[in-house]
Amino acid sequence: MAFGVIIIGDEILSGRRVDKHLPKVIQLLSARGLSLSWAEYIGDDPERITATLRRTFATGDIVFSTGGIGATPDDHTRQCAAAALAVPLELHPEAKALIQERIRDMHPANAPAPVDFNSPENLHRLNMGTYPRGASIIPNGYNKIPGFSVGDHHFVPGFPVMAWPMIEWVLDTKYEHLHHSTPHAEKSLLVFELPESTLTPLMEKIEHDFPGVRVFSLPSVGDAERGGIYTRRHIDLGVKGEPEAVAAAFVKLREGVHMLGGDIVEPEVAAQAQPRG
């Protein structure tokens, strides 16, 4: 099953905040032998969010969506998910109980009156527990206000301190059977003195001869920050896929680069050659 992530919020697209979700989701998946297939960024635009979710619900992918599940005017994700599924929003009973528990926790111990769950403010807070019909909750250990899942779509807050543990909970509760289910390996080398155009036929042949192995090519005009050998123009060329096939493909890749006259340095050797401060 493919994994995807949707990151929602005008503040990301405007640059007011820098997204931290994408690298963290990649890290959480990688630690479980999984990988991210796609990612999308969307602003707080209800029509665009609805259209995106309508499309992703139809894919069968496992999708994490961050942001927009609060109860302020710029939070639209809950409503858009319901619209995409053509189902109503309903107050989830477990979510209601958890939100009221949070309200009780926040009520001052020395307040002159007990908690009024029917006050306009507290009734409004319950909107955070209205989800598309058929949803289940995702526990939130930070402040008890849950996220929700509909099928293989999982909706969490935009705050990393809440979202990341919730994503981990989903991965370990709902998808443990997928952890490390597909052995994966990746091997690469640094190629100097050859353009990508010269390497392309070799890359195509490797993918043809080793079905399931994917070749990657990451050219660099030189990385002054890394220094040393990396300041030279080079290509990080490699293969990834099933470990045994990758091992065999890498041998052929290396041989092919040699035959083309490329100057090869393995990443481990390049790291050892780095100047030390």
Q: Which of 73-82, 224-233, 242-251 has the lowest mean pLDDT?
A: 224-233
C-beta of residue 189 within 8 angstroms of C-beta of residue 257 = yes
Which pLDDT band holds residue 269 (cuts at 50, 70, 90)? low
CATH superfamily of 3-178: MoaB/Mog-like domain (3.40.980.10)
Cβ proximity of 149 and 170 under 8 Å: yes
Rounded mean pLDDT, 162-181: 96
pTM of the model as a whole: 0.83
Backbone angles phi, psi at 247, to 5 degrees: -60, -45
CATH number among 3.40.50, 3.30.200, 3.30.1360, 3.30.70, domain 185-272: 3.30.70
**CB 232 within 8 Å of CB 192:** yes
Percent of the chain at pLDDT exceeding 70: 96
Residue 173 is predicted with a pLDDT of 97
Strand, helix or coil for residue 247: helix
By C-alpha distance, which of 142, 241, 165, 235 is closest to 197?
235
pLDDT at 237 over 70: yes
**DSSP of 125-175, one letter per residue?**
HGGGGEEETT-EEE--TTTS--EEEETTEEEE-S-HHHHHHHHHHHHHHH-
Give residue 267's pLDDT: 67
Residue 10 predicted with pLDDT over 90: yes
Mind listing the pLDDT tens digit for each residue in 105-152? 988 888 888 889 999 999 999 999 999 999 999 999 999 999 999 999
**pLDDT tens, 73-101?**
999 999 999 999 999 999 999 999 999 99
For the cut 60, the answer to whether the pLDDT of residue 200 exceeds it is yes
Q: Is the pLDDT of residue 275 over 60?
A: no
List the domain boundaries for the chain.
Answer: 3-178, 185-272
